[in-house]
Protein backbone atom coordinates (compact mmCIF):
# COMPACT_ATOMS: atom_id res chain seq x y z
CA UNK A 1 0.00 0.00 0.00
CA UNK A 2 1.48 3.40 -0.99
CA UNK A 3 0.45 6.98 -0.24
CA UNK A 4 -1.90 7.09 -3.25
CA UNK A 5 -3.88 4.27 -1.59
CA UNK A 6 -3.84 6.08 1.77
CA UNK A 7 -5.12 9.24 0.06
CA UNK A 8 -7.93 7.32 -1.65
CA UNK A 9 -8.76 5.70 1.70
CA UNK A 10 -8.91 8.96 3.68
CA UNK A 11 -10.05 11.58 1.19
CA UNK A 12 -13.80 11.03 1.53
CA UNK A 13 -13.73 11.31 5.34
CA UNK A 14 -13.72 15.16 5.42
CA UNK A 15 -16.82 15.64 3.24
CA UNK A 16 -18.84 12.62 4.43
CA UNK A 17 -17.82 13.25 8.06
CA UNK A 18 -18.87 16.89 7.87
CA UNK A 19 -22.20 15.97 6.26
CA UNK A 20 -22.88 13.61 9.20
CA UNK A 21 -21.41 15.87 11.93
CA UNK A 22 -22.96 19.04 10.48
CA UNK A 23 -26.34 17.32 10.01
CA UNK A 24 -26.38 16.10 13.61
CA UNK A 25 -25.29 19.54 14.80
CA UNK A 26 -28.20 21.17 12.96
CA UNK A 27 -30.58 18.54 14.38
CA UNK A 28 -29.26 19.22 17.90
CA UNK A 29 -30.01 22.95 17.48
CA UNK A 30 -33.55 22.22 16.27
CA UNK A 31 -34.27 19.58 18.94
CA UNK A 32 -32.34 21.53 21.65
CA UNK A 33 -30.62 18.27 22.64
CA UNK A 34 -27.38 18.78 24.59
CA UNK A 35 -26.28 15.15 24.16
CA UNK A 36 -26.69 15.37 20.39
CA UNK A 37 -24.85 18.70 20.40
CA UNK A 38 -21.89 17.19 22.21
CA UNK A 39 -21.85 14.12 19.95
CA UNK A 40 -21.90 16.27 16.81
CA UNK A 41 -19.08 18.49 18.14
CA UNK A 42 -16.99 15.35 18.82
CA UNK A 43 -17.61 14.20 15.23
CA UNK A 44 -16.68 17.61 13.76
CA UNK A 45 -13.53 17.72 15.89
CA UNK A 46 -12.55 14.11 15.06
CA UNK A 47 -13.06 14.68 11.32
CA UNK A 48 -10.98 17.88 11.48
CA UNK A 49 -8.16 15.77 12.95
CA UNK A 50 -8.48 13.03 10.29
CA UNK A 51 -8.33 15.77 7.64
CA UNK A 52 -4.66 16.38 8.59
CA UNK A 53 -3.38 12.99 7.24
CA UNK A 54 -6.00 13.16 4.46
CA UNK A 55 -4.41 16.40 3.25
CA UNK A 56 -0.80 15.26 3.68
CA UNK A 57 -1.29 11.93 1.92
CA UNK A 58 -2.35 13.94 -1.16
CA UNK A 59 1.20 15.02 -1.91
CA UNK A 60 2.29 11.37 -1.66
CA UNK A 61 -0.46 10.44 -4.13
CA UNK A 62 0.78 13.20 -6.43
CA UNK A 63 4.29 11.77 -6.26
CA UNK A 64 3.00 8.27 -7.03
CA UNK A 65 0.93 9.19 -10.10
CA UNK A 66 2.56 12.35 -11.50
CA UNK A 67 4.46 10.55 -14.26
CA UNK A 68 1.60 8.30 -15.36
CA UNK A 69 0.31 9.00 -18.87
CA UNK A 70 -2.58 11.46 -19.01
CA UNK A 71 -2.06 12.89 -15.49
CA UNK A 72 -2.10 16.71 -15.57
CA UNK A 73 0.19 18.61 -13.17
CA UNK A 74 -1.98 21.71 -13.25
CA UNK A 75 -5.15 19.74 -12.40
CA UNK A 76 -3.35 18.25 -9.38
CA UNK A 77 -2.04 21.66 -8.26
CA UNK A 78 -5.46 23.27 -8.65
CA UNK A 79 -6.90 20.45 -6.48
CA UNK A 80 -4.07 20.92 -3.96
CA UNK A 81 -4.80 24.66 -3.67
CA UNK A 82 -8.55 24.11 -3.24
CA UNK A 83 -7.82 21.39 -0.65
CA UNK A 84 -5.55 23.77 1.30
CA UNK A 85 -8.34 26.34 1.62
CA UNK A 86 -10.92 23.69 2.64
CA UNK A 87 -8.42 22.18 5.07
CA UNK A 88 -7.77 25.58 6.71
CA UNK A 89 -11.50 26.15 7.25
CA UNK A 90 -12.00 22.63 8.62
CA UNK A 91 -9.20 23.08 11.16
CA UNK A 92 -10.69 26.40 12.34
CA UNK A 93 -14.12 24.71 12.62
CA UNK A 94 -12.50 21.91 14.64
CA UNK A 95 -10.96 24.51 16.97
CA UNK A 96 -14.37 26.11 17.67
CA UNK A 97 -15.92 22.63 18.11
CA UNK A 98 -13.24 21.88 20.72
CA UNK A 99 -13.98 25.22 22.42
CA UNK A 100 -17.68 24.27 22.48
CA UNK A 101 -16.88 20.97 24.23
CA UNK A 102 -14.69 22.77 26.75
CA UNK A 103 -17.44 25.35 27.37
CA UNK A 104 -19.94 22.53 28.01
CA UNK A 105 -17.84 21.32 30.92
CA UNK A 106 -17.10 24.79 32.26
CA UNK A 107 -20.40 26.65 31.71
CA UNK A 108 -22.77 23.66 31.27
CA UNK A 109 -23.76 25.12 27.86
CA UNK A 110 -22.23 26.41 24.63
CA UNK A 111 -22.78 30.18 24.24
CA UNK A 112 -24.98 31.05 21.25
CA UNK A 113 -22.17 33.06 19.57
CA UNK A 114 -20.06 29.90 19.38
CA UNK A 115 -22.98 27.80 18.11
CA UNK A 116 -23.51 30.36 15.32
CA UNK A 117 -19.77 30.38 14.42
CA UNK A 118 -19.65 26.56 14.32
CA UNK A 119 -22.75 26.40 12.12
CA UNK A 120 -21.45 28.95 9.58
CA UNK A 121 -17.92 27.47 9.51
CA UNK A 122 -19.27 23.93 9.06
CA UNK A 123 -21.36 24.95 6.05
CA UNK A 124 -18.50 26.96 4.48
CA UNK A 125 -15.92 24.18 5.13
CA UNK A 126 -18.22 21.55 3.66
CA UNK A 127 -18.78 23.64 0.53
CA UNK A 128 -15.05 24.29 0.06
CA UNK A 129 -14.06 20.68 0.69
CA UNK A 130 -16.75 19.35 -1.66
CA UNK A 131 -15.34 21.61 -4.37
CA UNK A 132 -11.78 20.39 -3.61
CA UNK A 133 -12.91 16.74 -3.66
CA UNK A 134 -14.67 17.22 -6.96
CA UNK A 135 -11.44 18.66 -8.40
CA UNK A 136 -9.57 15.62 -6.97
CA UNK A 137 -11.97 13.30 -8.80
CA UNK A 138 -11.31 15.16 -12.07
CA UNK A 139 -7.60 14.22 -11.91
CA UNK A 140 -8.29 10.68 -13.08
CA UNK A 141 -11.91 10.77 -14.22
CA UNK A 142 -12.03 12.43 -17.64
CA UNK A 143 -15.76 11.75 -17.81
CA UNK A 144 -16.55 14.35 -15.09
CA UNK A 145 -14.45 17.15 -16.63
CA UNK A 146 -16.44 19.47 -18.86
CA UNK A 147 -15.92 22.53 -21.06
CA UNK A 148 -12.18 22.88 -20.51
CA UNK A 149 -9.24 23.26 -22.86
CA UNK A 150 -6.82 20.43 -23.48
CA UNK A 151 -3.13 20.28 -22.56
CA UNK A 152 -1.35 19.92 -25.92
CA UNK A 153 -0.26 16.35 -26.52
CA UNK A 154 -1.85 14.81 -23.42
CA UNK A 155 -5.54 14.85 -24.28
CA UNK A 156 -6.13 16.06 -20.70
CA UNK A 157 -8.16 19.21 -20.10
CA UNK A 158 -6.59 21.82 -17.81
CA UNK A 159 -8.55 23.89 -15.30
CA UNK A 160 -8.94 27.52 -16.40
CA UNK A 161 -7.26 29.47 -14.89
CA UNK A 162 -4.78 27.46 -12.79
CA UNK A 163 -4.52 29.07 -9.31
CA UNK A 164 -1.97 26.60 -7.77
CA UNK A 165 -2.50 28.38 -4.43
CA UNK A 166 -0.66 25.78 -2.35
CA UNK A 167 2.46 26.13 -4.54
CA UNK A 168 2.31 29.94 -4.13
CA UNK A 169 2.05 29.55 -0.33
CA UNK A 170 4.83 26.92 -0.42
CA UNK A 171 7.14 29.23 -2.38
CA UNK A 172 6.41 32.06 0.08
CA UNK A 173 7.41 29.80 3.00
CA UNK A 174 10.68 28.66 1.41
CA UNK A 175 11.71 31.84 -0.45
CA UNK A 176 10.97 34.45 2.26
CA UNK A 177 14.07 34.69 4.46
CA UNK A 178 12.30 35.17 7.81
CA UNK A 179 9.39 32.80 7.23
CA UNK A 180 10.94 29.38 8.00
CA UNK A 181 12.80 30.54 11.17
CA UNK A 182 9.63 32.34 12.37
CA UNK A 183 7.56 29.18 11.88
CA UNK A 184 10.25 27.12 13.68
CA UNK A 185 10.16 29.54 16.63
CA UNK A 186 6.34 29.49 16.78
CA UNK A 187 6.38 25.67 16.46
CA UNK A 188 8.63 25.52 19.51
CA UNK A 189 6.49 28.00 21.51
CA UNK A 190 3.32 26.06 20.57
CA UNK A 191 4.93 22.81 21.65
CA UNK A 192 6.02 24.28 24.99
CA UNK A 193 2.50 25.60 25.69
CA UNK A 194 0.91 22.27 24.78
CA UNK A 195 3.36 20.07 26.64
CA UNK A 196 3.45 22.35 29.67
CA UNK A 197 -0.31 22.06 30.23
CA UNK A 198 -0.46 18.34 29.29
CA UNK A 199 2.29 17.51 31.80
CA UNK A 200 0.65 19.56 34.57
CA UNK A 201 -2.69 17.78 34.08
CA UNK A 202 -1.08 14.35 33.74
CA UNK A 203 1.11 14.76 36.82
CA UNK A 204 -1.91 15.87 38.88
CA UNK A 205 -3.88 12.84 37.65
CA UNK A 206 -0.97 10.62 38.72
CA UNK A 207 -1.02 12.06 42.23
CA UNK A 208 1.66 14.80 42.09
CA UNK A 209 0.52 18.41 42.96
CA UNK A 210 -2.39 16.98 44.96
CA UNK A 211 -3.24 20.38 46.45
CA UNK A 212 -4.29 21.67 43.01
CA UNK A 213 -7.94 21.08 42.08
CA UNK A 214 -8.91 19.66 38.71
CA UNK A 215 -11.26 22.59 38.20
CA UNK A 216 -8.25 24.95 38.31
CA UNK A 217 -6.35 22.81 35.79
CA UNK A 218 -9.38 22.64 33.48
CA UNK A 219 -9.09 26.40 32.98
CA UNK A 220 -5.62 25.89 31.46
CA UNK A 221 -6.81 23.57 28.67
CA UNK A 222 -7.43 26.40 26.13
CA UNK A 223 -3.71 27.25 26.37
CA UNK A 224 -2.89 23.68 25.31
CA UNK A 225 -5.44 23.95 22.48
CA UNK A 226 -3.84 27.22 21.31
CA UNK A 227 -0.42 25.51 21.37
CA UNK A 228 -1.83 22.63 19.30
CA UNK A 229 -3.40 25.07 16.81
CA UNK A 230 -0.13 27.00 16.41
CA UNK A 231 1.72 23.75 15.77
CA UNK A 232 -0.77 22.38 13.24
CA UNK A 233 -0.61 25.71 11.36
CA UNK A 234 3.18 26.00 11.33
CA UNK A 235 3.60 22.25 10.70
CA UNK A 236 1.33 22.45 7.65
CA UNK A 237 3.26 25.50 6.39
CA UNK A 238 6.52 23.47 6.59
CA UNK A 239 4.79 20.63 4.76
CA UNK A 240 3.32 22.87 2.05
CA UNK A 241 6.77 24.52 1.68
CA UNK A 242 8.72 21.32 0.96
CA UNK A 243 6.34 18.32 0.81
CA UNK A 244 9.07 16.22 -0.85
CA UNK A 245 11.17 16.06 2.30
CA UNK A 246 8.31 14.58 4.35
CA UNK A 247 6.41 12.23 2.05
CA UNK A 248 9.20 9.61 2.03
CA UNK A 249 10.16 10.14 5.66
CA UNK A 250 9.31 7.32 8.11
CA UNK A 251 9.82 9.61 11.11
CA UNK A 252 7.20 11.99 9.71
CA UNK A 253 4.61 9.21 9.36
CA UNK A 254 5.18 8.10 12.94
CA UNK A 255 4.88 11.71 14.08
CA UNK A 256 1.54 12.25 12.31
CA UNK A 257 0.22 8.88 13.56
CA UNK A 258 1.22 9.72 17.15
CA UNK A 259 -0.40 13.20 16.88
CA UNK A 260 -3.65 11.46 15.81
CA UNK A 261 -3.49 9.08 18.81
CA UNK A 262 -2.64 11.96 21.16
CA UNK A 263 -5.67 13.80 19.72
CA UNK A 264 -7.87 10.82 20.59
CA UNK A 265 -6.39 10.83 24.07
CA UNK A 266 -7.14 14.57 24.39
CA UNK A 267 -10.78 13.79 23.56
CA UNK A 268 -10.94 11.70 26.74
CA UNK A 269 -9.94 14.72 28.82
CA UNK A 270 -12.19 17.04 26.80
CA UNK A 271 -15.38 15.01 26.70
CA UNK A 272 -15.50 12.85 29.85
CA UNK A 273 -16.47 14.20 33.22
CA UNK A 274 -14.65 11.73 35.46
CA UNK A 275 -11.21 13.37 35.67
CA UNK A 276 -12.67 16.81 36.36
CA UNK A 277 -15.27 16.09 39.01
CA UNK A 278 -12.59 15.70 41.71
CA UNK A 279 -11.57 18.30 44.30
CA UNK A 280 -8.14 18.99 45.88
CA UNK A 281 -6.53 15.95 47.61
CA UNK A 282 -8.88 13.51 45.81
CA UNK A 283 -7.38 10.63 43.85
CA UNK A 284 -8.12 10.29 40.10
CA UNK A 285 -9.74 7.05 38.82
CA UNK A 286 -7.62 4.34 37.18
CA UNK A 287 -8.86 5.10 33.63
CA UNK A 288 -7.74 8.73 34.05
CA UNK A 289 -4.29 7.49 35.21
CA UNK A 290 -3.97 5.22 32.18
CA UNK A 291 -5.00 8.14 29.93
CA UNK A 292 -2.41 10.38 31.65
CA UNK A 293 0.47 7.92 31.20
CA UNK A 294 -0.46 7.28 27.56
CA UNK A 295 -0.68 11.05 26.91
CA UNK A 296 2.86 11.52 28.22
CA UNK A 297 4.19 8.58 26.16
CA UNK A 298 2.41 9.81 23.01
CA UNK A 299 3.55 13.44 23.26
CA UNK A 300 7.14 12.42 24.05
CA UNK A 301 6.91 10.14 20.99
CA UNK A 302 5.73 13.12 18.89
CA UNK A 303 8.69 15.16 20.19
CA UNK A 304 11.13 12.36 19.45
CA UNK A 305 9.88 11.72 15.90
CA UNK A 306 9.89 15.47 15.20
CA UNK A 307 13.52 15.77 16.30
CA UNK A 308 14.49 12.67 14.30
CA UNK A 309 13.08 13.96 10.96
CA UNK A 310 16.61 14.58 9.56
CA UNK A 311 18.24 11.56 11.24
CA UNK A 312 15.81 8.63 10.89
CA UNK A 313 14.25 10.26 7.83
CA UNK A 314 15.56 12.34 4.93
CA UNK A 315 14.47 15.87 5.95
CA UNK A 316 16.84 18.87 5.61
- Least Å from the CB of residue 79 to ligand HEM: 5
Calpha distance 132→171 (Å, rounded): 21
Residue placing its CB nearer to ligand HEM in the complex, 38 or 73: 73
Minimum CB separation of residue 61 from ligand HEM in Å reads 4
| Of 129 and 262, CB closest to ligand HEM | 129
Which CB atom, from 106 or from 131, has the smaller least distance to ligand HEM? 131
Compare residues 127 and 196 and give the one whose CB is closer to ligand HEM: 127
Q: Which is nearer to ligand HEM, 135 or 205 (CB)?
A: 135
Residue placing its CB nearer to ligand HEM in the complex, 54 or 237: 54
Distance CA 7, CA 165 (A): 20
Q: How far is the CB of 43 from ligand HEM (least distance, A)?
A: 16
CA 205 vs CA 268, 277, 282, 289: distances in Å: 13, 12, 10, 6
As measured in angstroms, the least distance from the Cβ of 239 to ligand HEM is: 9
**Cα four-point dihedral sign 269, 270, 272, 276:** positive
Which residues in 53-88 are b (16+ Cβ under 10 Å) and which e? bbbbbbbbbbbbbeeeeeebebbbbbbbbbbbbbbe
Q: What's the helix, strand, coil split of the chain in %, to 5?
A: 75, 0, 25
Report the candidate in 125, 109, 129, 107 with the shortest Cα–Cα distance to residue 117: 125
Measured in degrees and rounded to the nearest 5, phi and psi for residue 291 equal: -60, -40
Q: Which is nearer to ligand HEM, 13 or 304 (CB)?
A: 13
Cis amide linkage into residue 161, ω under 30° from 0: yes
**Minimal distance in Å, beta carbon 31 to ligand HEM?**
30
Supply the minimum distance, in Å, between the C-beta of residue 53 and ligand HEM.
9
Measured CA to CA, the distance from residue 125 to residue 14 in angstroms comes to: 9
Question: Least distance (Å) from ligand HEM to the CB of residue 127?
Answer: 13
Nearest approach in angstroms of CB 152 to ligand HEM is 21
Helix, strand or coil for residue 157? strand
Binding site for ligand HEM (CB under 6 A): 4, 7-8, 11-12, 14, 51, 54-55, 58-59, 61-62, 65, 76, 79-80, 83, 87, 129, 132-133, 136-137, 139-140
The CB-nearest residue to ligand HEM is 58
Of residues 87 and 102, the one with the C-beta less far from ligand HEM:
87
Contacts of 2 (CB under 8 A, 6+ apart): 60, 64
Amino acid sequence: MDLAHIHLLLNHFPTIGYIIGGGLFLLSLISKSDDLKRASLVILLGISLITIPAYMSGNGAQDAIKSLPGVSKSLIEAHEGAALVGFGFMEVTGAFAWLGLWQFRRLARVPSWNLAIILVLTVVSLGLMTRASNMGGEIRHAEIRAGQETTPGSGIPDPQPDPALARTVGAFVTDTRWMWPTCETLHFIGLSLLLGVVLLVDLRVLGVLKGVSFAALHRLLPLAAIGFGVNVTTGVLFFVGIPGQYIHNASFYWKVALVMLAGLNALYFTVLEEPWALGPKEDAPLTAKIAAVSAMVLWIGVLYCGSMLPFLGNAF
